[in-house]
Structure 1
């Protein structure tokens, strides 16, 4: 199982949301290419085949990172 860096995943999710929004407002070939690129990168980074699976896997990565941080903070106290 892949264990991508949460910061990298967060950046990809932000880029995906930005391009998706711009594409929905004004679809262009350039934005389609950007959307395809970020979708592909999300899928590869999360080990999935569809954007829906990639988004769910990305959420899980961020949840695990948050839980790990929460655990680290409680042990430090």
Structure 2
């Protein structure tokens, strides 16, 4: 049995990693680098990967799978 993180957690982690990576690439501070490292570690743990690109890929796939299993709530 594979454990999959809740979609809201995955979405938040993906967005955080992508935002921090953009800030780091444009000359971010030591604080940005540390926060990116922390977010990367967390995303890797919840996706069972070891590198950010792999973690992002797995998280996106899991999010897409979650959307096909349960469409978003509509009013």
TM (norm. structure 1) is 0.82
Q: Which has the higher helix share?
A: 1
Aligned residues: 72
Alignment of 1:11 onto 2:12: yes
Gaps spanning 5+ residues in structure 1: where?
none
TM (norm. structure 2) is 0.84
User: Root-mean-square deviation (CA), in Å?
Assistant: 1.8
Partner of 2:24: 23
Gaps spanning 5+ residues in structure 2: where?
none
Q: Give structure 1 regions of 4+ aligned residues with deviation exceeding 2 angstroms.
A: none
Between the aligned partners of 1:2 and 1:49, the Cα distance in structure 2 is 16
Please identify the structure whose Cα radius of gyration is greater. Answer: 1
